[in-house]
């Protein structure tokens, strides 16, 4: 059952990641990976919310592991940062690395704060 929940969450998260990434990136005429930054930040906020909310194990498996795991993408973040360095866009690479970590941590904290504020 656990594997099925992960797969179901991922079946929604992965295509959504692709669609959001492409939609965001198509609106920016730059090599900076705005799409990946967006999905990783949103996924961090959702996961932060789930971590602080009183959700059951199966809900966390479906949404936290499956959906957020497929929505966010550390491998693409790493690849895009290395690609920026390789292409000579070192400033963008540094901004991407620092900005992604800061945005992800900040978004997770905000998600947790919202969950705790909504808790009875």
Q: Which residues are part of a known binding site?
A: 69, 72
Q: Could you give the C-alpha distances from 104 to 26, 32, 56, 72, 77, in angstroms and in order?
A: 22, 17, 24, 10, 12
Q: What are all long-range contacts of 35-38, with beta carbons under 8 Å and residues at least 24 apart?
A: 36/73, 36/76, 36/77, 36/80, 36/100, 37/96, 37/99, 37/100, 37/103
Q: What is the rounded distance in angstroms from the CA atom of residue 29 to the CA atom of residue 33? A: 10
Q: Which parts are annotated binding residues for Na(+)?
A: 69, 72
């Amino acid at each position: 059952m656990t594997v099925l929940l992960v797969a179901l969450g991922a079946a929604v998260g992965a295509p959504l990641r692709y669609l959001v990434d492409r939609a965001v990136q198509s609106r920016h005429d730059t090599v900076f990976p705005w799409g990946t930054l967006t999905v990783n930040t949103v996924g961090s906020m959702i996961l932060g919310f789930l971590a602080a909310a009183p959700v059951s194990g199966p809900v966390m498996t479906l949404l936290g592991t499956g959906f957020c795991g497929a929505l966010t993408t550390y491998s693409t973040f790493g690849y895009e940062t290395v690609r920026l360095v390789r292409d000579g866009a070192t400033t963008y690479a540094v901004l991407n690395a620092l900005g992604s970590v800061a945005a992800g941590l900040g978004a997770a904290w905000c998600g947790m704060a919202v969950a705790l504020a909504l808790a009875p």
